[in-house]
Amino acid sequence: MHRLGVDTQFGRLTLTQEEEAITALTWSGRDTGTATDLLREAARQLIEYDTGTRQAFDLPLRVRGSQFQQDVCAAMQRIPFGDTVTYGDIAKALGAMPQAVGQACGGNPIPVIIPCHRVMGAKGLTGFSGAGGVETKVALLRHEGAAGLLI
């Protein structure tokens, strides 16, 4: 397992690589192992996102968890930059309950890259599992120009 940290306006984000895929992004952790080509590419893409020159990530990802967790993460990856959807929207598409989708969003192992910050509650803004909680979610949405959608 290899880890590489990247300083962004959202805090220090640490990428984890296992085998040939990114498996985690956390707001804590230390660099460990080798800074592989994949980790350097993922760091480059995060910096581009941070500076506003990238709207979508193109990285091999591996989401560990149930098939439902993987399906919810795949649905989140399809949300365009600057857009938001509700837990109910994803639930309807997957034939599931919104609460289950909310739990899967909270368990997203690769936030920002898999944009769980773009998922809202039926009545608007909800929590966020990243460091800083809802304030970080708001910062990510504002960064993407989605601030008008927060009302």
Neighbours of 75 (CB within 10 A): 20
Same domain, 41 and 85: no
Overall size of the chain counted in residues: 151
Instruction: For 52-67, write each residue's pLDDT tens digit.
Output: 999 999 999 999 999 9
What CATH number has the domain bearing residue 113? Answer: 1.10.10.10
- Does some domain include residue 41? yes
**Would you state the pLDDT for residue 32?**
87
Is 73 one of the catalytic residues? Answer: no
Q: What is the mean pLDDT of residues 30-49?
A: 94
Same domain, 142 and 72: yes
Find out whether 113 and 22 touch, Cβ atoms under 8 Å: yes
pLDDT band at 76 (very low <50, low <70, confident <90, very high): very high
pLDDT of 20 above 60 = yes
Same domain, 87 and 135: yes
Q: What is the mean pLDDT of residues 74-91?
A: 95
pLDDT of 4 above 50 = yes
Same domain, 88 and 139: yes
Neighbours of 130 (CB within 10 A): 23
**Would you state the pLDDT for residue 141?**
93
| Residue found by looking up tokens 């909800």 in the block | 126
Tokens of 104: 């899967």
Same domain, 32 and 100: no
Which among 112, 116, 119, 120 is annotated as catalytic?
116
Find out whether 3 and 32 touch, Cβ atoms under 8 Å: yes
Tokens of 107: 């368990």
pLDDT of 41 above 50 = yes
Same domain, 36 and 82: no
Q: How far apart are CA 50 and CA 109, in angstroms?
A: 19
Q: How far apart are CA 136 and CA 130, in angstroms?
A: 7
Same domain, 132 and 71: yes
Same domain, 20 and 46: yes
Which residue in 143, 142, 65 sits closest to 105, CA to CA? 65
Our count of domains for the chain comes to 2
- Does some domain include residue 59? no
**Would you state the pLDDT for residue 124?**
75
Q: Which domain holds residue 79?
A: 67-150
Query: If residue 11 lies in a helix (H) or strand (E), which one and from where to where?
Result: strand 11-18
| Residue found by looking up tokens 């952790």 in the block | 29
| E strand segments, 29-149 | 85-86, 119-120
- Does some domain include residue 95? yes
DSSP letter for 132, please.
Answer: T
pLDDT of 28 above 90 = no
**Would you state the pLDDT for residue 147?**
56
**Would you state the pLDDT for residue 33?**
84
**Would you state the pLDDT for residue 151?**
44
DSSP 3-state of 3? strand
**Would you state the pLDDT for residue 118?**
94
